[in-house]
Structure 1
Amino acid sequence: MAREQFDLIVFDWDGTLMDSTAHITRSIQAACQDLGLPVPADQAASYVIGLGLREALQMAAPTLDPADYPRLIERYRFHYFLKDQATELFAGVREMLQALRDDGYLLAVATGKSRVGLNRALDQTSLTSLFDGTRCADETFSKPHPAMLHELTRELGQGLARTVMIGDTTHDLQMARNAGTAAIGVTYGAHAASSLEALQPEFVAQNVAELSAWLREHA
């Protein structure tokens, strides 16, 4: 299959490939409750998904003394890992990735997860072999800084103009804009369609089937 626009397709993880948005939101809220902090509403808690963990919790709990963020991180991880194995890939993700791989695209992940967390998720889903490169928030700058995309394109020898970032948050799309790559939004994760559309991505998909179909026709 001829690759029309892109050679490298970079995916966010949570809320884009993995159906984990609600679980992360509840874990943030439970961690705040454990420390007696104001519990952010669902929209506020889900808004920070995609950022590095420390950056996300700083935004979700702005009144907390910075010295106490390690305690909040520990409580978040406690709640997250209680039900981590219950989270699953969105329907159709595995087939979409395999089809893209079979068509010769380079695939990568740029995520707010830690390296340990992403490796664990890749192992649990048996997807490690499908990705040519990955970047995590604890290895470089958090989204929306362009570093993840700049580092992945350099590592894989690809041009920014032939790279597309796919994600469910404005952090993902703003990172793509900052890096100089194309972007695609998906509305089945953390951020509302209107927020994604405001950043003028190439396409906004309502579900994995729409995303897969667009990539087959246009990528």
Structure 2
Amino acid sequence: MKNRFDLIIFDWDGTLIDSVDWIVYCIQQAAIRHHCRVPDVQAAKDIIGLSIEKAITQLFPDIDDSLREKIVADYAQTFFSKDISRADLFPGVYEMLQQFKVNGYQLAIATGKKSRGLAQAVVATELADLFAATRSSDQAESKPNPLMINQIISELGVDKQRVLMVGDSVHDLQMAMNAGIAAIGVTCGAHSAEILQHYQPLMCLSYPTDLLEFL
């Protein structure tokens, strides 16, 4: 696959940063505090990648708007109570992204996070200067809608056939399918290779850093 792509779009949580267990914990704690049925670990993982509003609606379909807003706020308060740093990235991710940029790739992020949260995260992990474009769930439709990808492609002026999406969830790979671009799954986050294979990725890797062997 060398020289096949010019732009690599990464998901954030569970793909570049080891945050899935923390997300699950924050969701479960919000459910407990608001006396809702606590989702099991896999159910909580299954919504990672969606906007938080869409995620909470999917997890708790029978609650009213007022309670949904309270759970969203509670989740956010807990999630942002934890400081992050470059050490929270999966091992080797910082060096991998540096190498890809040196090799001439454009890099981008498409995430279910809010833009403010993403901006804080990329600064905290010392990655802010590496990405040519980012899109968050408050700037476009939530995954798996392809708008995030389409906006990034339009902004950077890249041929769609030269774009690769890398993500750990079915929402990432479904978004790539909907956008008509190639994708690679990583199994360090929300979903297993067996599940990700249903969305026809080029391959599934254990960690994003395994990309260095192929690109």
Same fold (TM over 0.5): yes
Question: Does the CA contact (< 8 Å) of 1:91 and 1:208 recur in 2?
Answer: no
**What are the equivalent positions in structure 2 for 1:93-132 lying under 5 Å apart?**
93-132=93-132
Residue 27 in structure 1 maps to residue 23 in structure 2: no
Question: Does the CA contact (< 8 Å) of 2:183 and 2:202 recur in 1?
Answer: yes
Residue 90 (structure 2) aligns with? 90
Q: Distance in 1 between matches of 2:214 and 2:25?
A: 32
The superposition leaves residues 109-131 of structure 1 with CA deviations (integer Å, 9 ceiling, x where unpaired) of 00000001000001101101000
Residue 206 in structure 1 maps to residue 206 in structure 2: yes
Runs of 4+ off more than 3 Å: none
- Match for 1:76: what amino acid? Y
Structure 2, unmatched stretches of 5+, are none
- Normalised TM-score (structure 2): 0.96
Q: Distance in 2 between matches of 1:38 and 1:55?
A: 17
Deviates more, 1:18-27 or 1:72-81: 72-81
CA-CA distance at 1:81 after TM superposition: 1.6
Question: Does the CA contact (< 8 Å) of 1:110 and 1:135 recur in 2?
Answer: yes
Q: Distance in 2 between matches of 1:28 and 1:84?
A: 18
CA RMSD between the two structures: 1.4
Q: Distance in 2 between matches of 1:209 and 1:130?
A: 16
Deviates more, 1:110-119 or 1:74-83: 74-83
Structure 1, unmatched stretches of 5+, are none
**What are the equivalent positions in structure 2 for 1:6-155 lying under 5 Å apart?**
6-85=5-84, 88-155=88-155
Residue 195 (structure 2) aligns with? 195
Residue 163 (structure 2) aligns with? 163
- The DSSP-based 3-state class of the residue aligned with 1:19 is coil
CA-CA distance at 1:211 after TM superposition: 2.5
CA-CA distance at 1:195 after TM superposition: 0.8
Q: Distance in 2 between matches of 1:179 and 1:103?
A: 25
Question: Does the CA contact (< 8 Å) of 1:25 and 1:46 recur in 2?
Answer: yes
CA-CA distance at 1:206 after TM superposition: 1.0
Q: Distance in 1 between matches of 2:8 and 2:133?
A: 10
Q: Distance in 1 between matches of 2:208 and 2:186?
A: 8
The superposition leaves residues 43-66 of structure 1 with CA deviations (integer Å, 9 ceiling, x where unpaired) of 000110000110011112222112
- Match for 1:20: what amino acid? S
CA-CA distance at 1:84 after TM superposition: 4.1
- Normalised TM-score (structure 1): 0.94
